[in-house]
Amino acid sequence: HTIVLLPGDGIGPEVAAAARAVLEAVAPHHGLSLTFESHDIGGCAIDAHGDPFPEATAKACATADAVFLGAVGGPKWDGGGPRPEAGLLALRKTLGAFANLRPITLFPGLEHLSPLKEERVAGTDMLIVRELTGGIYFGDKVEGDDHASDLCSYSRDEVERIARIAFAAARERKGRVTSVDKANVLATSRLWRKTVVALRDADYPDVELDHVLVDAMAMKLIEQPSAFDVILTENMFGDILSDEASVIAGSIGLAPSASLSQTHGGLYEPIHGSAPDIAGQGKANPIGAMLSAAMLLRHALDAGGAAAHIERAVADCLAGGVGTADIGGTEHTDAVIAAVCDRIG
Amino acid sequence: HTIVLLPGDGIGPEVAAAARAVLEAVAPHHGLSLTFESHDIGGCAIDAHGDPFPEATAKACATADAVFLGAVGGPKWDGGGPRPEAGLLALRKTLGAFANLRPITLFPGLEHLSPLKEERVAGTDMLIVRELTGGIYFGDKVEGDDHASDLCSYSRDEVERIARIAFAAARERKGRVTSVDKANVLATSRLWRKTVVALRDADYPDVELDHVLVDAMAMKLIEQPSAFDVILTENMFGDILSDEASVIAGSIGLAPSASLSQTHGGLYEPIHGSAPDIAGQGKANPIGAMLSAAMLLRHALDAGGAAAHIERAVADCLAGGVGTADIGGTEHTDAVIAAVCDRIG
Ligand SMILES: CC(C)[C@H](C(=O)O)[C@@H](O)C(=O)O
Ligand SMILES: CC(C)[C@H](C(=O)O)[C@@H](O)C(=O)O
């Protein structure tokens, strides 16, 4: 199996190293043979090649069994010219990685990390299913000094295929989907809601479905995070709500993601960003990256046992108090990686 | 002074009665003479006139000194046909009410109401300045069964005039503006950021300005709500973030808003919605409406003393434990209204 690593910018290289380390540690226990290749993306690719998503990177990703991305972006590339984030968006689009899965779980024993009162947050275990290759991120843009616009557009097929992912996931969980939209104002949200309802009625009558407006959802996530099972939403709303949910569960540094495609093994990345302020200092929390590596094993390589092996090792280390400063620990990034790899071994 | 009341749907009539009651209670103490007129808007206007924003309502609002709105919307009007919310959007547009001010303040003594740990939320006192008549809410819409779209568009002038409101407000507060956008992805956000920076440099060099991406802001509001002074953002982001912030400060039922215009006295409404599930049961929290009435006095009638009079009465009642169930109290809506009016008298 060939895995392409795209370390990217900021703390990206530190967390990509974490992903690689756990994959290498777990592989021999499950008869997996993994080959790694690293390529540039984002700001570092702009610096080296003048392009946030160079041809060589695109090619390597397309033929790989799975892609792991660290993070992209930083103030260094804010001054005009190509943007690091354009590389990530192009990657998602190229791979057809339309289905972004963001599990948000409160690790038992880490309740004290949440900014929420402990009784509010206890039991939180949700899966955010975010549409990732449509909506306002990819619509026509007009850039200008006097006027600018972004088009948000969705087709029924795009809504249906992401909704299928959510309903199927709900069947493996508690059987409930909460679809988030702004149907009282947006045309795309009305199409979204109609499509989701029709699909449920036709193909997933056993799954419970409700609808919450995005503004109300931003409240409910805080008021009762444990009330949710699967949350289904479009690209931009998913961006906002998944970041919000991640801090509720303790730290964005803990949250992994998988972006699935119909034609490729997919893209795996922690949901935290490049955090340039702490880059290179050993402060990055590698857990989100390691859990993303576990998702890679499960979804791209059908190696659920190996994935669970990593997840158990991470949970044990967290329960044992191992962690970086963002989760109240004192460890260096590398020490956390070493602890999890030890535990795997 | 003529004030148009638009009770609207759900709990709207109950909270509009609260606004009227405190205005009538405070007026004689400040030599104000107020006349009230009520008109239909939203779902009830659809039912009575087939139009969520009937001509008679539009006319009355246009000539009034200020407009108070309860709330619009409900599942009753979800089935296709005209939407209650279209009435509210048309009202905002007709009045030119582009500047939505949403103060989010933790009332001292109500820390326990917040879903956040008390030490996190203590000291929260922010003003969200939301652009209200542009962006994706008002762009061209394509409705369809196979495809739909919404256009998000902003002009430099639209950004500049709302940014002026935020900078001017910051000067009366702690002198800091946090502008929220998604400039790493959206063209409108890049125009937004450029315009805000240029305006600050030219006309408000004394105001501190920083920029936070909307996804990061959804986190920071929870992580350190007390870190913010004025938050400046576009229509849709402001919708989401202000609802999120309101629960952090205890309950959305407490949060007022003012929507200011360059040509009209403005529109005043609590930020909670129509809450059809509790309508007519005396459970609605009237505080957001009463504080919106105070904003009406301050901004539309230049009666800052009368506004402060209401605000003091509300704060005293809250400190004395008066309140509806959403803030841990046992009172009926009318009992809270009576308590505040008593205190005013
Ligand atoms: C870097 C940025 C383009 C990206 C997004 O908004 O999709 C990030 O915030 C994320 O959530 O993966
Ligand atoms: C009712 C709805 C159209 C409205 C909005 O989204 O602007 C409401 O949520 C608000 O925030 O005032």
- Cα distance from B76 to chain A (closest Cα, Å)? 13
Judge: A152–B151 Cβ closer than 8 Å, yes or no: yes
Of A85, A156, A246, Cβ closest to residue B146: A156
How does strand B99-105 pair with strand B125-131?
A: antiparallel
Question: What residues in A contact B188, CB-CB < 8 Å?
Answer: 148-150
Q: For residues A130 and A242, is the Cβ–Cβ distance under 8 A?
A: yes
CA distance A256 to A293: 8
Strand order in the sheet with A141-142: A141-142, A147-155, B147-155, B141-142
Strand order in the sheet with A35-38: A35-38, A2-8, A66-71, A267-268, A258-260, A99-105, A125-131, A230-233, A176-181, A208-213
Nearest-CA neighbor of B159 among B232, B239, B264, B241? B232
pLDDT of residue B108: 84
pLDDT of residue A97: 98
pLDDT of residue B44: 98
Judge: A117–B120 Cβ closer than 8 Å, yes or no: no
Residue A81 half-sphere exposure, CB side, CA atoms within 13 Å? Answer: 15
pLDDT of residue A90: 98
- Cα distance from B122 to chain A (closest Cα, Å)? 12
Judge: A139–B153 Cβ closer than 8 Å, yes or no: no
The number of beta carbons lying within 10 Å of the beta carbon of residue A301 is: 20
Q: For residues B99 and B264, is the Cβ–Cβ distance under 8 A?
A: no
Q: For residues B176 and B208, is the Cβ–Cβ distance under 8 A?
A: yes
How many angstroms separate the alpha carbon of residue B130 from the centre of ligand 1? 23
- Cα distance from A91 to chain B (closest Cα, Å)? 14
pLDDT in tens, A186-216: 999 999 999 999 999 999 999 999 999 999 9
CA B296 to the chain's CA centroid: 11
pLDDT in tens, A36-93: 999 999 999 999 999 999 999 999 999 999 999 999 999 999 888 899 999 999 999 9
CA distance A94 to A62: 8
Question: What residues in A contact B141, CB-CB < 8 Å?
Answer: 186-187
Quick one: three-class SS letters along chain A?
A: CEEEEEEECCCHHHHHHHHHHHHHHHHHHHCCCCEEEECCCCHHHHHHHCCCCCHHHHHHHHHCCEEEEEECCCHHHCCCCCCHHHHHHHHHHHHCCCEEEEEEECCCCCHHHCCECHHHHCCCEEEEEEECCCHHHCCCEECCCCEEEEEEEEEHHHHHHHHHHHHHHHHHCCCEEEEEECCCCCHHHHHHHHHHHHHHHHHCCCCEEEEEEHHHHHHHHHHCHHHCCEEEECHHHHHHHHHHHHHHCCCHHHCCCEEECCCCCCEECCCCCCCHHHCCCCCCCCHHHHHHHHHHHHHHCCCHHHHHHHHHHHHHHHHCCCCCHHHCCCCCHHHHHHHHHHHHC
Residue nearest to atom 6 of ligand 2 (CA): B239
Which of the four pLDDT bands, split at 50, 70 and 90, describes residue A108? confident
Mutate which of B77, B239, B269, B274 to test ligand 2's pocket (most atoms within 8 Å of Cβ)? Answer: B239
Question: What residues in A contact B215, CB-CB < 8 Å?
Answer: 239-240, 242-243
Catalytic residue among B137, B154, B204, B268: B137
Question: What residues in B contact A144, CB-CB < 8 Å?
Answer: 187, 191
The number of beta carbons lying within 10 Å of the beta carbon of residue B144 is: 15
Residue nearest to atom 5 of ligand 2 (CA): B239
Judge: A188–B120 Cβ closer than 8 Å, yes or no: no
Active site (annotated) includes residue B243: yes
Question: What residues in A contact B194, CB-CB < 8 Å?
Answer: 145
Which of the four pLDDT bands, split at 50, 70 and 90, describes residue A283? very high
pLDDT of residue A78: 87
DSSP-derived secondary structure letter, B234: -
pLDDT of residue B40: 98
Of B147, B190, B236, Cβ closest to residue A148: B190
Report how many Cβ contacts below 8 Å link chain A to chain B. 166
- In chain A, residues 66-125 whose CB comes closer than 8 Å to chain B: 73, 83-85, 89, 115-117, 120
Q: What is the pLDDT along chain B (345 residues), one digit of tens a residue?
A: 999 999 999 999 999 999 999 999 999 999 999 999 999 999 999 999 999 999 999 999 999 999 999 999 999 998 888 999 999 999 999 999 999 999 999 998 888 999 999 999 999 999 999 999 999 999 999 999 999 999 999 999 999 999 999 999 999 999 999 999 999 999 999 999 999 999 999 999 999 999 999 999 999 999 999 999 999 999 999 999 999 999 999 899 999 999 999 999 999 999 999 999 999 999 999 999 999 999 999 999 999 999 999 999 999 999 999 999 999 999 999 999 999 999 999
Token pair for A28: 């021999």
Of A73, A142, A223, Cβ closest to residue B187: A142
Helix (H) or strand (E) holding B102: strand B99-105
How many angstroms separate the alpha carbon of residue A150 from the centre of ligand 1? 16
pLDDT of residue A109: 83
CA distance A72 to A267: 14
pLDDT in tens, A268-279: 999 999 999 999
- Cα distance from B215 to chain A (closest Cα, Å)? 4
pLDDT of residue A171: 98
- Please indicate if any CB of chain B lies within 8 Å of the CB of A59: no
Residue nearest to atom 1 of ligand 1 (CA): A85
* Phi, psi (rounded to 5 degrees) for A319: -60, -30
Q: How far is CA B260 from CA A185, B7, B173, B310, in A?
A: 21, 19, 18, 20
Q: Which residue of B has its CA nearest to A75?
A: B184
pLDDT of residue B57: 98
Of A84, A136, A241, Cβ closest to residue B186: A136
Judge: B218–A215 Cβ closer than 8 Å, yes or no: no
pLDDT of residue B80: 81
Task: List domains and CATH numbers for chain A.
Answer: 1-98+255-345 (3.40.718.10), 115-248 (3.40.718.10)
Helix (H) or strand (E) holding B52: none
* Three-class SS state of B269: coil
Instruction: Kindly state the average pLDDT of the residues A288-313.
Output: 98
Q: Can you say whether residue B22 is alpha, beta or left, with left for phi > 0 and alpha for psi between -120 and 50 degrees?
A: alpha
DSSP string for residues in B23-39? HHHHGGGGT---EEEE-
For ligand 1, say whether the CB of B184 is within 6 Å of any of its atoms.
yes
What is chain B's length?
A: 345
Active site (annotated) includes residue B182: yes
